[in-house]
């Protein structure tokens, strides 16, 4: 099976690289001609084709969102994090909300399409070794989300779980978002089996993974005053981690 992984992973990498290069140009054109709205649409298109690209590895995506979530208020989308292959299913599931990410600053340069989107799409690029800079960027990010009625994605684990088992949530980033986006709707999300795509490391990729994404019942932040935020944080973490299945 691992021998086959090398062959299929090589084919996948070829198509993956081509997609990033092609959509780098598409994003630039859409941004210049149609502004942020068109750029957002080009990003959604990219995610669709990236997931199709993953089908070359036998990867399947099951995205379950039974909730009718309004686009009339900002969202704070809170998810566990298992690999970079979490990103496309998240963006595609919430494509009407054009989600923005909190990302490490290293991803903001050198990667076609991805770096362009992070720099021009409204993401927060943080230095994980500089807490002051990170908090300042998250505050700016939260204010943009609030002012523009957008959607923020945050991975409270802080780093990927490489075996599927959830890491303890770090709540500082969430607390900042709560403070500066007081009218937000919080949307807990659980992702399963994404880690299996990178179980061998960066190369080759795991084959035949069934990535599932489940959107849980949204929570109105305003239902939890400041003195109940600890209870809210516990509820969010429990909701997400209780649905993680590691086999």
Per-residue pLDDT in tens (0 to 9) along the chain, 247 residues: 678 999 999 999 999 999 999 999 999 999 999 999 999 999 999 999 999 999 999 999 999 999 999 999 999 999 999 999 999 999 999 999 999 998 889 999 999 999 999 999 999 999 988 889 999 999 999 999 999 999 999 999 977 788 889 899 999 989 999 999 999 999 999 999 999 999 888 889 999 999 999 999 999 999 999 999 999 999 999 999 999 998 7
pTM of the model as a whole:
0.93
pLDDT, residue 11, reads 96
Q: What is the pLDDT of residue 202?
A: 83
- 88 alpha-carbon distance from chain centroid: 7
Q: What is the pLDDT of residue 3?
A: 80
Domain boundaries, the chain: 2-241
Please give the pLDDT value at position 246: 84
Architecture of domain 2-241: 3-Layer(aba) Sandwich (3.40)
């Amino acid at each position: 099976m691992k021998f086959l992984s090398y062959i299929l992973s090589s084919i996948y990498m070829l198509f993956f690289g081509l997609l990033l290069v092609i959509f780098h140009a598409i994003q630039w054109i859409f941004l210049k001609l149609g502004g942020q709205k068109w750029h957002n649409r080009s990003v959604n298109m990219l995610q669709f084709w990236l997931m199709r690209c993953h089908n070359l590895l036998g990867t399947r995506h099951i995205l379950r969102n039974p909730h009718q979530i309004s686009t009339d208020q900002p969202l704070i989308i809170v998810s566990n994090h298992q690999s970079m292959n979490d990103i496309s299913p998240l963006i595609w599931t919430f494509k009407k909300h054009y989600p923005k990410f909190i990302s490490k600053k290293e991803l903001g340069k050198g990667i076609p399409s991805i770096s362009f989107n992070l720099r021009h799409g409204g993401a927060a690029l943080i230095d994980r070794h500089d807490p002051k800079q990170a908090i300042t960027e998250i505050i700016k990010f939260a204010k943009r989300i609030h002012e523009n009625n957008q959607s923020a994605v945050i991975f409270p684990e802080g780093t990927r779980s490489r075996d599927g088992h959830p890491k303890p949530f770090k709540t500082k980033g969430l607390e900042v978002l709560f403070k500066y986006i007081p009218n937000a709707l919080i949307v807990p999300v659980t992702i399963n089996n994404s880690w299996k795509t990178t179980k061998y490391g960066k190369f080759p990729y795991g084959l035949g993974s069934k990535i599932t994404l489940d959107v849980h019942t949204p929570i109105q932040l305003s239902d939890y005053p400041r003195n109940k935020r600890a209870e809210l944080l516990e509820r969010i973490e429990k909701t997400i981690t209780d649905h993680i299945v590691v086999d």
